[in-house]
């Protein structure tokens, strides 16, 4: 197996193998805390700069009542704003992605914004005070950073560092993959709604112990070499190498047949599918011919949207396109299998008979994710659910007691 160049955390000899208590998967009050203390203040992937190559191109990202608009200005700079008209709060753009010529016109009363978010002017300006200061009514900015072309936003300041620091262990690989060059692959932007708490999706995705049993295609492709690695800072890397043995399944055989060795990739990425996790809810996934990211967007305690985007290489050959399609087929099959596992796992959280997880060393990633959650929301460590209405207060108390 290829030696991997990552600063990996070892799995301890003995560790608490229980997962989070069941109540954390269905408490409405905890869900509110997850919204404010987790999702709104941690980096969220919203797309890639090549999704919006021209001035006036935009995309949107909605999450938990907040809505973002990411737009390329006339000056070529990509900015993020709240998709919220400063007049009465209408969406200034509607839809997932689009283009506007020259200016944004709010569909409610027609206020006009420049592509840099500044207010050009209200409609019927004579109906406002003479001294209305337009500079006070620009679209509200949202923090946005770019990592090798990927655009991430954060609705509010939070505990994670800037992306260059946070993703330092990913930097060499993203540079090697030339992630800044990738182009959106037409016809795919995932959005599936699943009736589970978002953590049940992540609990399944955070370990590869289940690959051998639950994912016959992945097992056939790279099961013999698959590794899950934990890194500091809520990062994780999963890595599986293929091609060391003949495949049995049609899609895998065809993938291996069409896979074209990409000589420009370093040895550890040449024949591998590699997944780069981002706490708390997203993953970038690279194969030699395709790139995607996927993430869980919670809708309520028991509903989660599975979303993401898929990209291709700019110099894609016909064979690479076929390989990418076959990789997508394997992924789709895998995702359906995972969705069923998430449903069962989530159901168990409401069962009186459910005691706790008893995790294997191969599921240490689940534990690390839960540790990250407990760090932000220590109330999740309580085995017994606090009464609804007291969850926030308990959490505040535990945060206060935490050794600084
Ligand atoms: S809400 Fe946008 S113009 Fe009135
Ligand atoms: Fe899986």
Q: Is residue 131 included in any domain, yes or no?
A: yes
Report the alpha-carbon distance of residue 390 to residue 356 in Å, rounded.
Answer: 23
Q: For residue 336, with 0-12 CB atoms within 10 Å meaning exposed, 13-18 middle and 19 or more buried, which class applies?
A: exposed
Q: Is residue 166 included in any domain, yes or no?
A: no
Torsion, CA 362, CA 193, CA 301, CA 229, rounded to 10: 20
For residue 309, the SS3 value is strand
Looking up tokens 């679209």, which residue turns up?
139
Residue 73 CA to ligand 1 centre (angstroms): 21
What is the per-residue pLDDT for 403?
81
| Closest ligand, as measured to the CA of 127 | 1
Cα-based distances in Å from 163 to 55, 158, 175, 274: 24, 12, 14, 19
Which among 69, 85, 124 is the best mutation to test ligand 1's pocket, defined by most ligand atoms within 8 Å of the CB? 85
User: Which is the closest atom of ligand 1 to the Cα of 85?
Assistant: 2
Q: Are residues 31 and 50 in the same domain?
A: no
- In sequence order, the β-bridge partners of residue 240 are 273
Q: Give the mean model confidence (pLDDT) for residues 356-384.
A: 97
Q: Are residues 123 and 204 in the same domain?
A: no
Q: Are 33 and 389 in contact (CB under 8 A)?
A: no
Report the alpha-carbon distance of residue 95 to residue 118 in Å, rounded.
Answer: 21
Q: Give the mean model confidence (pLDDT) for residues 267-283.
A: 97
Residue 141 CA to ligand 1 centre (angstroms): 17
Q: Is 224 in the pocket of ligand 1 (CB under 6 A)?
A: no
For residue 259, the SS3 value is coil
- Write the CATH number for 149: 2.102.10.10
Q: Give the mean model confidence (pLDDT) for residues 295-318.
A: 96
pLDDT at residue 110 is higher than 90 = yes
User: Which is the closest atom of ligand 1 to the Cα of 110?
Assistant: 3
What is the per-residue pLDDT for 26?
96
pLDDT at residue 191 is higher than 90 = no
Furthest CA-CA distance within the chain:
76
- Write the CATH number for 267: 3.90.380.10
Which distant-in-sequence residues (6+ apart) come within 8 Å of 246 by Cβ?
Answer: 253
pLDDT at residue 108 is higher than 90 = yes
Q: Are residues 203 and 338 in the same domain?
A: yes
Q: Are residues 181 and 35 in the same domain?
A: yes
pLDDT at residue 278 is higher than 60 = yes
Name which of 141-145, 193-197, 343-347, 398-402 the model is least confident about: 398-402
Q: Are residues 377 and 328 in the same domain?
A: yes
pLDDT at residue 362 is higher than 90 = yes
Report the alpha-carbon distance of residue 299 to residue 64 in Å, rounded.
Answer: 6
DSSP state of 35: I
DSSP state of 9: B
For residue 304, the SS3 value is strand
Q: Is residue 291 included in any domain, yes or no?
A: yes
Last residue of a domain, one of 157, 187, 207: 157
Range of the domain at 116: 43-157
* Average pLDDT in the chain: 96
Q: Are residues 79 and 190 in the same domain?
A: no
pLDDT at residue 116 is higher than 90 = yes
* Band of pLDDT at residue 189, cut at 50, 70 and 90: low
What is the per-residue pLDDT for 164?
98
Q: Are residues 312 and 378 in the same domain?
A: yes
Q: Are residues 249 and 314 in the same domain?
A: yes
Last residue of a domain, one of 98, 129, 157: 157
DSSP state of 388: T
Q: Is residue 162 included in any domain, yes or no?
A: no
Residue 369 CA to ligand 1 centre (angstroms): 42
**119-176 residue pLDDT tens:** 999 999 999 999 999 999 999 999 999 999 999 999 999 999 999 999 999 999 999 9
pLDDT at residue 225 is higher than 90 = yes
Q: Are 49 and 78 in contact (CB under 8 A)?
A: yes
Q: Is residue 207 included in any domain, yes or no?
A: yes
User: How many Cα atoms within 13 Å fall on the side-chain side of residue 91?
Assistant: 14
| Closest ligand, as measured to the CA of 86 | 1
Q: Are residues 310 and 197 in the same domain?
A: yes
Residue 81 CA to ligand 1 centre (angstroms): 16
Q: Is 109 in the pocket of ligand 1 (CB under 6 A)?
A: yes
**317-352 residue pLDDT tens:** 999 999 999 999 999 999 999 999 999 999 999 999
Residue 281 CA to ligand 2 centre (angstroms): 15
Residue 401 CA to ligand 1 centre (angstroms): 46
**Which residue's C-alpha comes closest to atom 4 of ligand 1?**
109
Assessment of whether the complete model's pTM goes beyond 0.95 = yes
pLDDT at residue 187 is higher than 60 = no
Q: Are residues 18 and 124 in the same domain?
A: no
Which among 90, 132, 137 is the best mutation to test ligand 1's pocket, defined by most ligand atoms within 8 Å of the CB? 90
Q: Are residues 222 and 306 in the same domain?
A: yes
Q: Is 112 in the pocket of ligand 1 (CB under 6 A)?
A: no
Report the alpha-carbon distance of residue 357 to residue 21 in Å, rounded.
Answer: 9
For residue 26, the SS3 value is coil
Report the alpha-carbon distance of residue 262 to residue 267 in Å, rounded.
Answer: 10
Q: Is residue 167 included in any domain, yes or no?
A: no
**For the chain, what is the domain count?**
2
Which residues lie at CB < 5 A from ion ligand 2? 338
Q: Is 111 in the pocket of ligand 1 (CB under 6 A)?
A: yes
Q: Is residue 168 included in any domain, yes or no?
A: no
Q: Is residue 210 included in any domain, yes or no?
A: yes
**29-87 residue pLDDT tens:** 999 999 999 999 999 999 999 999 999 999 999 999 999 999 999 999 999 999 999 99
User: Which is the closest atom of ligand 1 to the Cα of 111?
Assistant: 3
**Which residue's C-alpha comes closest to atom 1 of ligand 1?**
88
DSSP state of 196: S
């Amino acid at each position: 197996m290829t030696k991997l160049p990552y600063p990996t955390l070892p799995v301890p000899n003995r560790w608490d193998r229980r997962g989070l208590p069941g109540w954390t998967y269905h408490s409405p009050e905890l869900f509110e805390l997850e919204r404010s203390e987790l999702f709104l203040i941690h980096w969220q992937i919203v797309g890639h700069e090549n999704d919006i190559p021209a001035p006036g191109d935009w995309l949107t990202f909605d999450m938990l009542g907040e809505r973002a608009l990411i737009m390329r200005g006339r000056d070529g700079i990509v900015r993020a704003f709240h998709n919220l008209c400063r007049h009465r709060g209408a969406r200034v753009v509607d839809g997932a992605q689009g283009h506007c010529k020259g200016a944004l016109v709010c569909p409610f009363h027609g206020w006009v914004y420049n592509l840099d978010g500044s207010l050009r002017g209200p409609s019927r300006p004579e109906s406002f005070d003479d001294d209305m200061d337009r500079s006070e009514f620009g679209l509200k900015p949202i923090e946005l950073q770019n990592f090798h072309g990927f655009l991430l936003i954060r609705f509010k300041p939070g505990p994670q560092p800037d992306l260059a620091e946070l993703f330092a262990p990913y930097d060499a690989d993203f540079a090697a993959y030339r992630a800044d060059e990738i182009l959106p692959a037409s016809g795919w932007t995932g959005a599936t709604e699943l009736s589970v708490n978002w953590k049940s999706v992540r609990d399944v995705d955070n370990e590869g112990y289940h690959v051998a049993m639950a994912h016959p295609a992945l097992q056939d492709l790279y099961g013999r070499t698959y590794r899950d690695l934990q890194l500091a800072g809520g990062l994780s890397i999963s890595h599986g190498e293929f091609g060391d043995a003949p495949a049995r399944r049609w899609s895998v055989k065809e993938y291996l047949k069409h896979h074209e060795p990409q000589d420009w990739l370093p040895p550890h990425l040449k024949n591998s599918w590699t997944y780069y996790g981002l706490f708390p809810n997203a993953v970038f996934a690279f194969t030699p011919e395709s790139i995607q990211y996927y993430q869980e967007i919670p809708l309520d305690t028991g509903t989660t949207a599975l979303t993401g985007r898929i990209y291709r290489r700019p110099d894609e050959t016909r064979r690479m396109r076929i390989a990418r399609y076959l990789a997508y087929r394997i992924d789709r099959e895998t995702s359906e299998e995972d969705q069923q596992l998430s449903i069962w796992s989530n159901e168990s959280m409401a069962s009186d008979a459910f005691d706790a997880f008893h995790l294997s060393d191969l599921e240490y990633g689940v534990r690390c994710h839960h540790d990250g959650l407990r760090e932000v929301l220590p109330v999740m460590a309580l085995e017994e659910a606090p009464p609804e209405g007291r969850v926030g207060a308990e959490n505040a108390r535990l945060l206060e007691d935490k050794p600084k």
